[in-house]
Structure 1
Amino acid sequence: MTRNDWLRFGTVAIVAVVALYLLYPFWPLNKVVKLGLDLQGGVRLVLEAEGVADMTPADQTKTIEQVITILGNRIDQYGLANAEIRRFGGERILINLPGATDPEEARRLIGQTALLEFRRVIQAGTSPLDDLIPTSSDQEVLKDRDGIPYIVDRDPLLTGAALSNAVVRTSQSLQNVGQLYIALSFTQQGAEQFAKIMRQMSVNDLLGIVLDNTIYSAPRITESIKEAAQEGWRAVQNQTTITGRFSTDEAK
């Protein structure tokens, strides 16, 4: 295994590093749109995804769908009922919020950067029916996209603030041609922290990748990760990738 392969988890985490910015100002609507939602007094936002213009049409569609999933989860968390989120043109996403009463607040919630965290996994469930109970106040239960619970440390080991850059790329290797991956670059401080964390964790420990309080993957720590971390922060600063194999349904 090459160092570029040593951190693997579901590529739906691509959403964490595909920057979104507001393309058009929000404005109240006074008409009924195609799905029949009466948006008078509501809010419409149009977002455009950066970093997807150079992708193949299939990869672009896949990434936009992932962004829509994340935005839908975020809107659900804030209780904005009857929201409509759909692709709008090649790289844009249309969000209609009929229940929003504060346009500025809606804009802030939708436009804010997703919170990416790396959490230590204490115990992983295998079914949404599993009833996992934390044994300490320092732990909490988070769920993945399928509702499967995980007991994780409440405090993150690392956050997205440790990253200096993240670029979405398509693999050209014979084994993984066409597969999306993210090339991560850490700040020096972030690389030092990441290497230290890897040295402290044991082989086969689970590292939870958490985005907006939802677990998107929990890869196992491997020998190659430990070896790279032992070399020091420079060995991990610009050599970390996020990859994964998944079906279209899993990506959604």
Structure 2
Amino acid sequence: MAPETVGGDVDMAAVGELLADRARCRMLLALADGRALPASILASEAGVAPSTASGHLGRLTERGLTEVVATGRYRYYRLAGPDVARLVEVLGRIAPARPVRSLREGTRAHALRLARRCYDHLAGRLGVAVTDALRDRGWIAGSDGSVDPTERHGHQLPGYVAEDGAYHLTDAGRAGFAGLGVRVPDGLAAVRCCVDWTEQRHHLSGPLAAALLARFDADGWLRPSPGHRALRVTDAGVAGLADRLGVGWPPPAVGLSRA
């Protein structure tokens, strides 16, 4: 009888080997807003030839970081779920910022700081500002999400802030979200959040944040930027954010911000 095959401890080095390549990391960042993109676009994002991009995407898919979506004869790639998106976001918080070497790169970096899609929810200064507005209105209750980069809790990284269940939804929040046309998931009590990698403050994540961003999209408040994951706020969005949530555009930088 053949011996039973069992897995040993996790092989973190296998994932680390994939992330050690800048081209593959750029592909993962391009997919961090939840889109499914063709290999040609990802090759352009990574700055590599299409044949090279295919090899990188094959390795990412084999290791379970990306998955293929087939539409007719076309193949698109996307992150293999929210766990991978959270990995990309956490790595973004602890990784150094890449140097900006051109006006184009500077413009793009500024747009990403202002507003971007973090898989299925809103991030950047706008995501932080919306989260602050929800807390100020008493729709959610919890920490203000400030991060002290010198503070250490046990063995956690400096600046650690608990992410899961950091807030809870209030009765006023249920009514307020209903007024915006946002369907609150049944049984929701704890509200998840991420520590925004550019602002080092909380922005909402999880099912409630996904429903809120879907509402903003449906109302035409936000539009994707061509070629990258930054979001553009429309005229309707500027008016709606100010009128319904008291959020001005552009939102100010609050606390620590990374270029």
TM-score by length of 1: 0.31
Between structures 1 and 2, the one with greater helix share: 2
TM-score normalised by length of structure 2: 0.31
The one of the two structures with greater contact order (alpha-carbon pairs below 8 A, sep at least 6) is 1
Structure richer in strand, relative to its length: 1
